A and B are shown apart, each in its own frame.
Chain A
Amino acid sequence: MSAEALLQVRDLVKHFDVGGGLFGARGTVRAVDGVSFEIPRGETLGLVGESGCGKTTTGRCILQLERPTGGSIAFEGEELTALSDNELRRVRRQMQVIFQDPYSSLNPRMSIGQIIEEPLFVHGIVKGGAERAARVRRLLEQVGLLPQHGRRYPHQLSGGQRQRVGIARALAMEPSLVVCDEPVSALDVSIQAQIINLLEDLQSELGLTYLFVAHDLSVVRHISDRVAVMYLGKIVEITDRKVLYDEPLHPYTKALLSAVPIPDPEIEAHRERIVLSGEVPSPLQPPSGCVFHPRCPIAVARCSQEIPTLREIKTAHWAACHLAS
């Protein structure tokens, strides 16, 4: 393991057993199926993919909100999967999460100030009331809110302001790792850029490490140092941001990039698109061989028989495709 990695995930597996009731047969959803990556301290790893690819479950497993079925998660060198619930409380202070929908993740009956100071109570971080109030003021300021916002309630704030509250609450614990799960996708376009800039400022100010889970490839490109692309529970490609966007190797990555429309009619008028046929198969019955082969425009016979391993095709550029070179 490299010395500077804050988080190291190895062969992470999370299966959910479903069904067995009145309808349908019992089965296993292979939500995350052998995922490995690491995030050096102070960096951002973008995790992209479509709904159901396992990106959110990966984030939840890292936070131990879901106990993994297999694999290892090392945070600052400590193996999390072996910890008891009690021991996890200590580690959780350093790992926080920002959710997609700031509205459903804030208690409507608590004032903004109470929401932000609650974790300080729970973990007994600051003692006196005056100290706590000062801390809340400081956190509000850090995320671009005013002291008087502390007395308001979630419904009195706009979506962007609520997301700022979600960020302040995460920062209250002084975490080193923040899992950002689609933090801007519920926000208006004009507000998204505000929140992205804020996340970047906080990262450089506080030395935060981010796992940035999102489906918007343009946003992920902007904020990430490295990017991993997931499909049906597996990472199909992972490398530096610039390399991934400039020279994608995996046909799925290429199709994803090609599917994003560019906000410029002149460019769109001449742009060729790779439109994938078919839909993402069910993770209950993933296809044989390469899970992408039924939709892959370049698949050959081998792809339906043999599972491609994630291999280093160029220096520091991994892809799971038999045909990549």
Chain B
Amino acid sequence: MPPLLAVRGLQTQFLTRGGVVRAVDEVSWDVREGETVALVGESGCGKSVSALSIMRLVAEPAGRIVGGQILFKGRDLLTLTEEEMRQVRGREIAMIFQEPMTSLNPVLTIGRQLTEGLEVHLGMTPGQARDRAVELLGLVGVPDPGRRLAQYPHQFSGGMRQRMMIAMALACRPALILADEPTTALDVTIQAQILELMKNLSREFGVAMMMITHNLGVVARYADRVNVMYAGRIIEQGTARELYANPRHPYTLGLLHSVPRLDEPRRARLDPIEGQPPDLTRLPRGCAFAPRCAFRVERCGEEIPPLRQLDDEGRVSACWEAEHLPGGGPRSPVATASAGRR
């Protein structure tokens, strides 16, 4: 069975004063029916632009999708007309943003914003749409939904706004939800509420989810499979379990090492990834991570390592040295010692 969404060789570029930024550079990944896939990486790695590209919401003319395919249910979204694309957005693929306040209309009531999609996409009457809106708000845990419909976004707290965004995303029963840092702006206890809610609802309705985040803990808890991005490229793919237990790219290894963990004894010192994230207008020759990499060999500075399959279990890494990285989990003493010495 073909995946629900198959991104193939996607290339999105931005024209800036500093030159052409290859924000997404020949990126390929899949989302299957009903699964949760994470796109992890740090700011500027291209993860949000990937999501916007799928929705064809990259801000033109500075930004442009210059290559690749986005196959959703077998159709290439990049070949659709704007009118056809409008039928996909919100109806078949929905999006949840980090900051709900900036993606909600401040002068429309919550009710109006929820019912609009239902009337436009599903052809409901205002009465039907209202009933459905009440039901949706109840589903996402907004207390007293009937009264809340008449309120405006500013009368909602951050957590309630994000619940409202989830309700909007679910409104037309999409097959896929793209969630871009859905809980980053929220407090820890509210973050837990929202993530549990998203997990339960995606299971209940069989919605597939693409979760874009920088939080390795969130990925570990909620994702089935993981794509790690660095400087516009995917540098490692795998199931969450495999990838965390046995990272096959030095960047993934470094990320997992650098965060303090509550479940482990406190370490005397953290092991950061040295150096700075790359400037996308001036990427080095060869592997973009090489200048910060503890396992660098000569070849890394010359040739960009392709994403390649390492084993039969679907482990994929873009590192020349993937087979020679220290194994046995991110916290093995071997890994720490060699990373420090090189």
Contacts and interface: CB of A to CB of B under 8 A. Distances in A.
B196 interface: yes
B244 interface: yes
Contact of A192 (B43, B159, B258, B276): B258
A279 B215 CA distance: 22
B258 A263 contact: no
B219 interface: yes
The listed residue with most B CB atoms (<10 A of its CB), out of A50, A262, A273, is A262
A8 B136 CA distance: 51
Contacts of A259: 188-189, 191-192
Contacts of A192: 258-259, 272
A188 B221 contact: no
Contacts of B160: 279
B190 A279 contact: yes
Interface string A221-233: 1100000000000
A276 interface: yes
Contact of A262 (B191, B240, B263): B263
Interface in B306-327: none
Nearest to B226: A265
A256 B245 CA distance: 26
Interface in A164-215: 188-194, 196-197, 200, 215
Contacts of A275: 189, 192-193, 196
A310 interface: no
A126 interface: no
Interface class of chain A by DSSP = helix
A266 B276 CA distance: 31
B221 A268 contact: yes
B271 to A, nearest CB: 7
A200 B269 contact: yes
A114 B296 CA distance: 37
A280 B186 CA distance: 12
Contact of A221 (B255, B266, B292): B266
B52 interface: no
B266 A194 contact: no
Given A158-B277, A161-B276, A221-B266, A50 B187 contact: yes
A286 interface: no
Interface of B: 42-43, 157, 159-160, 187-193, 196, 214-221, 223, 240-241, 244-245, 254-256, 258-263, 266-267, 269-274, 276-277, 292
21 contacts: A188-B43, A191-B272, A193-B258, A196-B260, A222-B260, A222-B266, A256-B188, A258-B192, A259-B191, A259-B192, A262-B217, A262-B221, A262-B261, A262-B263, A263-B217, A263-B219, A264-B244, A265-B241, A266-B245, A268-B217, A276-B193
Give the 8 A-B residue pairs with the shortest CB-CB distance, closest first.
Answer: A261-B217, A193-B272, A50-B187, A193-B270, A263-B216, A188-B42, A193-B258, A190-B273
